[in-house]
Chain A
Amino acid sequence: MERKQSFSRRFFLKTTSFAGALALIPPKAKALYTELKQRLIPTKEIMPLTVTINKKAYEVKADSRTTLLDLLRENLHLTGTKKGCDHGQCGACTVHIDGQRVLSCLTLAVMTTGKNVTTIEGLADGDKLHPMQQAFIECDGFQCGYCTPGQIMSAVACVNEGHTRSVAEIKEFMSGNLCRCGAYNGIVESIQKVAI
């Protein structure tokens, strides 16, 4: 069946009178439009936030959706912290908040206001590497190096928590950090070295 591409007079009158009616009530029409737009394309919520990262205070404006990981990498260009899966399954984004290891990909940046964040960039003392960084180099704790910042942050916390009494315990408490190169033996060795 063929469909004609034409407009009837009735259709023309209906639509123009509807549009005219809308124009007659501009505030309401505008409100309707903004509400519809908000529903379809919600506006971004930009928030000011103050975070302390590696003992330095930053004042930034960021979308409420920004994760701590994206804030570090995209807004502050602290790219040492890596994005692996972005879903809390790999541990590559591990950082410390108030001394506790957490996943920065599942932390909203705005929720870290007033807290102390430590990233891999904050471990070394000037040119002097943190003992764990040194141990990873000496024990071959990595191959490609992508998971390494997360591994080191997790390893430092693992030692601080005291979960280093056996190889089995180290493995259990490092299970949140995956290494697809399989440098696990070197990682365990590094932790043992620092734990002594």
Chain B
Amino acid sequence: MRPFIFTKPATADQALIKKTNQAQFIAGGTNLLDLMKKHIALPEELLDVTNALPAAITANTKGIRIDAMVRNSAIASQAEVLSQFPLLAKAVLAGASPQIRNMASTAGNLLQRTRCPYFYDTTVPCNKRIPGTGCSAMDGDNRMSAIVGYSNQCVAVHPSDMCIALAALEANVLVTGRDKKQHSIPFKDFHRLPGTTPQLDNNLPANAVITAVEIPGNRFQKNFAYVKVRDRDSYAFALISVAAALHMEAGVISEARLASGGVAHKPWRWYKAEQFLKGKKPSAENFRQAASIAVGETKPLANNKFKTVMLQGAIETALQNCLTA
């Protein structure tokens, strides 16, 4: 690890004043420390924000606000989350291990880097790690890589489970810039597709800080599911994950949400499939067709064609599980 100066700002304002391109925020540290040990992240200064940022979950009539420093395990066991946003709790529990969930912060979860093996291997080219060097995964072992939304410069996938639920629930990311102005970024616009700038994972303004995530109230308390397919039963990143939520009125689907992890550089929403389900009966045939519409959007790479079959099954299963949740 490269030596660094350590400071612990007491307030968010102080943290923002000290934030430069060479200084990085640290909260849970579960991703950043790992990257620093591997010399992928080389900050000259670490700003410990565990005291500077708030750590409360507050519910009101419009929805729920989860502060930046709320640990993942706290989200998964909070009463209001469990009763009003059960999909979120389910997705959080599908990610990482109990130890890591006790450490990982809400804001940090949004900012975690990809787990593409070539990003972690500093002996090979990677456009995300060092722009312009090339993508080793493109023609390499791309079994875990993206099947949609990738570019010829990067095929990495977004690793979070929590973010898949937040995408499906159309959360907003609250951000404070150095000018102390608050912005609200819709979740779908927070993470980026690789395009020609794969080194950028998200649209967080330079030297800004995430203060909270807000989820608007919804009607997905009854019919929801989170399906995660991975190499082992627990404590592994997703090959395919699906967050599904339905609202039914008079026997037909009035609102549907479908999002996936393990498929793209950002949490991916299947808008066309959602649109198809609207007004339809919740039948196995309709679920099959919705899944086919989603699969139709994908373009697998040489070693991950299996992911399209897996996605078809995962979406059908998730939608089916919505009815029995």
The answer on A and B forming one complex is yes
- The reply to whether B30 and A106 form a contact with Cβ atoms under 8 Å apart is yes
Interface of A is mostly: mixed
Report the bound CA distance from A111 to B102 in whole Å: 15
B233–A175 CB distance below 8 A: yes
Query: Of all chain B residues, which has the CB nearest A178?
Result: B235
Residue in B3, B50, B99 whose beta carbon sits within 8 Å of that of A45 in the complex: B3
What is the bound-complex CA distance between A39 and B34, given in angstroms? 22
Task: Scan B1-45; emit 1 where CB is below 8 A from any A CB, else 0.
Answer: 111111000000000000000000010111001101100000010
**CB contact between B99 and one of A43, A44, A86, A91 (< 8 Å): that residue:** A91
Verify B234–A110 contact, CB threshold 8 A. Answer: no
Q: Are A101 and B102 in contact (CB under 8 A)?
A: yes
How many pairs of residues, A versus B, come closer than 8 Å at their CB atoms? 88
Contacts of A175 in B (CB 8 A): 97-98, 233-235
Contact partner of B103 (CB less than 8 A), chosen from A44, A64, A103, A154, is A103
Return chain B residues, CB-CB under 8 Å to A107.
29, 33, 103
A102 close to B (CB within 8 Å): yes
List the B side residues contacting A108 at CB < 8 Å: 6, 26, 29, 33, 46, 48
Task: Give the contact-size bracket for chain B.
Answer: 20 to 34
Closest residue to B71 on the A side, CB-wise? A100
The yes or no answer to A133 lying at the interface (CB within 8 A) is no
Q: Decide yes or no whether A191 CB sits under 8 A from chain B.
A: no
- Selected from A87, A91, A94, A100, the residue in CB contact (under 8 A) with B34 is A87
Say whether B100 contacts A103, CB under 8 Å.
yes
Task: Give the nearest-CB partner of B28 in chain A.
Answer: A106
Query: Closest CB-CB distance, A182 to chain B, in whole Å?
Result: 14
Q: Using a CB-CB cutoff of 8 Å, which residues 82-121 of chain B contact chain A?
A: 96-100, 102-103
Is A161 an interface residue, CB under 8 A from the partner?
yes
The CA-CA distance from A111 to B97 in the complex, in Å, is 21
Residues in A with CB closer than 8 Å to B26 are 108, 111
Interface residues of A (CB under 8 A from B): 42-45, 47, 63-65, 67, 86-88, 91, 94, 100-103, 106-108, 110-111, 154, 157-158, 161, 163, 171-173, 175-177
Q: What 3 pairs between A and B have smallest CB-CB spacing?
A: A176-B97, A175-B234, A175-B235
